[in-house]
Each structure stands twice: as structure tokens, then as C-alpha cells.
Amino acid sequence: MIPWGGLSCCLSAAALYLLGRSSGRDAEILKSVTRVNQLKELAQLLDAEILPLIVTISGRVSSETPINCEFSGLRGVIVEETAEQHFLKHNDAGSWIQDSALMLSMSKEVPWYLDDGTDRVHVVGARGAAGFALPVGSEAFEESGRSLVRGTLDYLQGLKMLGVKRIERVLPVGTSLTVVGEAAKDDVGAFRIQRPHKGPFYVSPKTIDQLIANLGKWARWYKYASMGLTVFGAYLIAKHAIRYILERRRRSELQRRVLAAAAKKSGQNNDGKLFMAQLYLCLQCLFQ
């Protein structure tokens, strides 16, 4: 029998090892990108460096046309709204279970940039960057109305409406962000940072040093987890192999004893054919 448990552990260890190498490689790449301390330095770098230029910049989120959020009251540059209907559903077993259904999913984004007081750089495609996450600006639950007619209709359909959960996620104006990506200049001379064709692209509230430290931490965790799974998988495989060898040795020893006893008894028994037939059946049962 194949030791699937041990093989699964070894395959998982290999996957974690590859993840660890990837995280470690990303950390080394981030260490090598050009750090722009002030955004006004970007113009000189774009003129002097060979393109494409991968840089890391920091600044505060700003926009000429920010979005006024309906629920949180914040002013943001990226807004995502979702609304879920929560209800109890009557199942086939005769009991009520809680469930939900998405009613609304809407996303808005306006042109925005980072500003550090010395210059500004537009950010393009931030939602597809690693490390990007929209914080929750507002979360509220609105209970459904308790009208008799509505309640009766829902009950006949096997439903009990509980209410609507609304979540508003916002990237507010004034948020401090670090962006790692390709710096470029558009047709009108404005600077922007975007996803490179080949290279890292991060948009995060963490500093570049924090991003490097975090990747290094994950690389070490993947390494130790891979080593642990490798040892455990090897233990399971070795345990299975030892058990298989001992079982084969036990059967071989038992077969030798049976054959020795058969040879001894066949010399004393005139009906040797009958005994050998019985012996064959015995051995067949033994090795099934």
C-alpha cells in the first residue's frame, strides 16, 4: 500500500518551500528598488536612469475630485459598497437555517495621486497591487420591516427576512501609502507609478522596510513549516516501510515453518496429495 499520508506531507513541504523561496526572492527585489525620498527627485531619476525604472515612493492620498461617501461621511478616492440580504430559510429537514444573498456590489474610483509636499505622482491600477486592502469605512445592519402581509408572504415562501447588511470600504483622502512600481511620465508630462511588465507592484500603508521585514518573516515561516512537514512525512514513509519489511519477514518465516512442517508430515503420511492440497489452501488463505 502506498503511504499517502507521508507523500502528502512531502508534497506540502515542497509547496511551502517554493513559497518561501518566492517570498525571500521578493524581499531581495524590494531591497534593490530605487528609493525616492522626495517626490521632486523623480523627474531627475527619469531623465538619468535607463527605463523601465522601478521605484518606491511614499505620500498622502489626494485627489482633485474626491468621492463623498454616503454612509461613512468620508471623502475617498476608491469606494466599494456591498449590500447583503440576510434571512432564515426553511430547509427540507423542517428547521430554519441562516443564509444571505448579495443584493448590491458597486465600486467607484476617481483619478488620485500621492503628495508629499514636494510634488505629486499619480497611481494607476492600485486595486490589482499586492498588499492593497480597502479599510471598512462604515458597516451597518438594517432590520427588515415587520408588516403582517410581508411576513405572511415570506413565510409561505419558506423565508424569514432578517435585514440588510451594508458595508462601505473606502480609501480616504489623507491616507499615508507606500507604492512600489514602475515610474513613468504621461503625454502631458505628469508623473505616474503603475504595474511594471516585470517586477514588483505593491500599494500598502506599510513602509518599504516593513514590507521587506514582513516578506522575510513569511519566508522563514514557510522554511520552518517545510522542514517540519518534510521530517514528519519522512517519518510516516519510514514507518510504513519498516512495517512492510517486518510484515514480509514475518510471512516469509511463517511460510518457511509451514513448508518445513509439511515436508516432515508428508514423509509420515501416505496420502501426500491430500495433505499438499490442504497445505496449498492454507498458504493461499495466509497470503490473501
Q: Is the pLDDT of residue 29 over 70?
A: yes
Cell 507521508 found at:
6
- Please choose, from the candidates 172, 151, 168, 169, the residue with its C-alpha nearest in 3D space to the C-alpha of residue 160: 151
Instruction: Please compute the mean of the pLDDT values over residues 51-61 and round it to a whole number.
Output: 89
Instruction: Please compute the mean of the pLDDT values over residues 264-283 and round it to a whole number.
Output: 56
Q: State how far the alpha carbon of 260 is from the alpha carbons of 81, 188, 248, in Å.
A: 83, 98, 18
Torsion of Cα atoms, 221 then 223 then 228 then 234, to 10°: 160
Q: Which helix (H) or strand (E) holds 56?
A: strand 53-62
Buried b (16+ CB within 10 A) or exposed e, 223-240: bebbeebbebbeebbeeb
Name residue 11's amino acid: L
Q: Which residues contact 57 (CB under 8 A, 6 or more apart)?
A: 36, 39, 42, 114, 116, 121, 178, 179, 183, 193
Q: Is the pLDDT of residue 116 over 60?
A: yes
pLDDT confidence of residue 267: 60
Identify whether the C-beta of residue 116 lies closer than 8 Å to the C-beta of residue 146: no
Instruction: Please compute the mean of the pLDDT values over residues 249-268 and round it to a whole number.
Output: 74
Query: Which string of DSSP letters, residue by residue, matches 89-148?
Result: EE-TTS-EEEEEEEEEEEEEE---EEE-SS-EEEE-SGGGSBT--PPEEEEEEEEPP--H
Q: What average pLDDT is seen over the chain?
A: 83
For residues 199 and 28, give the distance between their C-alpha atoms in angstroms, rounded to a whole number. 12
For residues 102 and 82, give the distance between their C-alpha atoms in angstroms, rounded to a whole number. 8
pLDDT confidence of residue 79: 95
Q: Is the pLDDT of residue 278 over 70?
A: no
Identify whether the C-beta of residue 130 lies closer than 8 Å to the C-beta of residue 26: no
Q: Is the pLDDT of residue 150 over 60?
A: no
Q: Is the pLDDT of residue 81 over 90?
A: yes
Q: Is the pLDDT of residue 252 over 70?
A: yes
Q: Backbone phi, then psi, for 59, in 5-degree steps?
A: 180, -175
The pLDDT confidence band at residue 276, using thresholds 50, 70 and 90, is: low
Q: List own/partner pairs for 248-252 with CB under 8 A and 24 or more apart.
A: 251/286, 251/287
Instruction: Please compute the mean of the pLDDT values over residues 245-262 and round it to a whole number.
Output: 80
Using one digit for the tens of pLDDT, what is the confidence trace for 170-225?
A: 999 999 999 999 998 877 778 899 999 888 999 999 999 999 999 889 889 989 99
Q: Which three cell numbers stand for residue 96?
A: 430554519
Residues in a beta bridge with 120: 115
pTM for this model (two decimals): 0.72
Angle at 17 between CA 14 and CA 21, to 5 degrees: 140
Residues in a beta bridge with 78: 109, 171
pLDDT confidence of residue 283: 54
Give helix 208-268 / helix 272-286 axis angle, nearest 10°: 170
Identify whether the C-beta of residue 129 lies closer than 8 Å to the C-beta of residue 202: yes
* Percent of the residues in the chain that have a pLDDT greater than 90, as a whole number: 33
pLDDT confidence of residue 281: 52
Angle at 76 between CA 71 and CA 79, to 5 degrees: 65
pLDDT confidence of residue 237: 86
